[in-house]
Every structure is written in structure tokens, then in C-alpha cells.
Copies of this chain bind each other. A is one copy, B any other.
Amino acid sequence: MLVRDDLEACNRLIVDRMQSEVSLIPQLAAHLIAAGGKRLRPLLTLSAARLCGYRGARHVKLAACVEFIHTATLLHDDVVDESALRRGQASANALFGNKASVLVGDFLFSRAFELMVEDGNLEVLRILSAASATIAEGEVLQLITQNDTTTTEAQYLKVIEGKTAALFAAATEVGAVVADQPSARQAAMRDFGMTLGIAFQLVDDALDYSADQAALGKTVGDDFREGKITLPVLLAFQRGDDAERDFWRRTQEERDQGEEDLAHALTLMRRHGALDDTIERARLYGEQAIAALASFPDSAEKTALADVVTFVIERAR
């Protein structure tokens, strides 16, 4: 990995800055952070900065900010979704309680801003505070559209742009900002992150109906049980007959679910190619992400970022 040293420095900074004399905070944070996610978002900040020719060390701090914000949203997301599993382990709220998860999320979020203030770049602060507001808006919109089969594809896209892609976009954009790139380059990096983020969430939403628990690190069918109206459901609903729509309304709107319902949902999705078409959309967004890299000269860093796109899409196979 090109940015291996950067990522190790970032990991050290994360562990260092999640400390608090209130020991429950690092305990709970470590449960999520040290459990070792993919570190995809900080990796994007580090790689984007290097692609833009940055040679300093500030990007390490900004990558840690991005991971803190991500971890805070995970903690709050686990609370609101009442998830039992996260990354294959018991979720923090199941172990520590909802109360602690909300508050430690708040702590990490505040700590992210403290790190940004230490860095002292107002443009970075603007990008990441705006992204944070957009994430919250996306999550609220998801809450509103949950259990509502009349949700449109446009609404769904707005949800995933907010809850997922906004932070990907901010992560890559600040990489260009710290490298002091002209605004066209900053916009290109932002576009790369945004389209990659949409692709990532589309694949995630397909995997929720297809991966085995070990591979995905969470329970299959979580979205189905909660009645989260993701693209696979939207497509199956749109393409289904009256009886099928009744099935989706019963299981997703009324959340009246029996033992065989998840299997039946999968059958309907296969019948209508809902999962394949979701992955296909992800592939198209992935192509847009690659295209956003076009203005950058070829380099090992550019290849590495293109490889991330491939990795994100290939997770679905």
C-alpha cells in the first residue's frame, strides 16, 4: 500500500486522541476503532493528498478527523437502527447501552473538530462541518422514508448521498485542499469521492440481501427486517405485480414478517434482477469516479485510487 506509513501514523493519532480521563470513552471507542474497520475514509484523504502532490504531514490529522466523524455516525447509527451486529461483532450499543453510544459519539465528533481547529485551515473546517450537517440530514431522511414503499429513487439517492457519499466526498476534497490545489482539482477530487461513495452504498445495500454474515460482518437481511427502503427493494417493488407489492407493503411498511419472508424477498429480487441492477448502477458510478481522476497525470497514486473503486465494486461478487 502506497500510503502505508501515513495510515500507520493516522492509526497512532486516532488511538492517541480518543483518550480521555473518563475511561469508558476510550474503552467504547476502541471497541469500534481498534476492532479495525477498513479505514476506507481516512485512506481516501491520505491517498487524495498524495495524488495531489502533498508532501507534508497535515493530511494525517485530517484523515483522523474523517475517521472520528465516521465512527461517531456509526455509534449514533447503531443506536437509531437498534443493530445487533457491527463489523461482525456485537454493536457498541448492545454492549455498552444506547446512552453511552450517543455520548461517546458526541465526544468523538467534538474531538474531530478539535483536531481540525489545531490544523487551522478554515476551508477544511467548512468542508467537514458542512459534510457533518449533510450526513445528519441524510440519516433523518432515511428515517422518514423507512417503511414507506412510495419512496422514490430520487429520495433514495438523496439519502445515500447524505448518509454515506457526503463524507467520502469531503474526505477526498480535503486531501486536495491540504495540497493547496486549484479549485478545479478540488472539485475533481470531491466528485471522485461523491461518486465512489454512492457506488459504495449501492453495493452495501445489495450485499445486505446477498452476503453471508461472515463476509459482510453484519447480519443478512437487517435492512429487510427494519423496513429500510433501499434500491433493491424499490426495483423489486416497481417491477412486481399486485401480489408482490402487497408482500412488500406487509413486510416493509407494516413490518409484519414471518420466517419465510426474507427468503421470499430474495426470490422476488432475483426474479426482477433487482440485485444485479443495483450492482450495475454501482458500476456506473464507479466509472464516473474513475473519470473524475482523468485530469490527474498517471501515477502510482492515481492507480491506487482507481483500485479502490474496483475494490468497492468487486465486494459485490
The residues of A with any CB-CB pair to B shorter than 8 Å are 20-22, 24-25, 73, 76, 79-80, 98-100, 102-104, 106-107, 109-111, 113-114, 116-117, 120, 122, 125-126, 129-130, 132-133, 135-137, 139-141, 143-144
Is A79 within 8 A of B98, CB to CB?
yes
Nearest B residue to A25, CB-CB: B140
Given the complex of chains A and B, what is the CA–CA distance between A113 and B131 in angstroms?
A: 11
Is B80 within 8 A of A140, CB to CB?
no
Q: Which of B111, B114, B126, B143 contacts A99 (CB 8 A)?
A: B143
CB A107 to nearest CB in B, in angstroms, measures 4
Is A129 within 8 A of B107, CB to CB?
no
Is B76 within 8 A of A103, CB to CB?
yes
Given the complex of chains A and B, what is the CA–CA distance between A42 and B140 in angstroms?
A: 27
> Can you sample 24 A-B contacts with CB below 8 Å?
A20-B137, A20-B140, A21-B137, A22-B140, A22-B144, A24-B144, A25-B137, A79-B102, A80-B103, A98-B98, A100-B140, A102-B102, A103-B140, A103-B143, A106-B132, A106-B135, A106-B139, A107-B137, A110-B135, A110-B136, A114-B133, A116-B129, A117-B125, A125-B125
Copies in the assembly, this chain: 2
Given the complex of chains A and B, what is the CA–CA distance between A139 and B102 in angstroms?
A: 10
Residues of B within 8 A of A133 (CB): 107, 110-111, 114
CB A120 to nearest CB in B, in angstroms, measures 6
Is A103 within 8 A of B136, CB to CB?
yes
CB A87 to nearest CB in B, in angstroms, measures 20
Residues of B within 8 A of A102 (CB): 76, 79-80, 102
Given the complex of chains A and B, what is the CA–CA distance between A125 and B109 in angstroms?
A: 14
Residues of B within 8 A of A103 (CB): 76, 80, 136, 139-140, 143
Is B110 within 8 A of A76, CB to CB?
no
Nearest B residue to A115, CB-CB: B129
Q: Which of B73, B107, B116, B120 contacts A136 (CB 8 A)?
A: B107
A76-B106 contact given A113-B125, A117-B122, A117-B125, CB 8 Å threshold: yes
Q: Which of B21, B110, B122, B130 contacts A132 (CB 8 A)?
A: B110
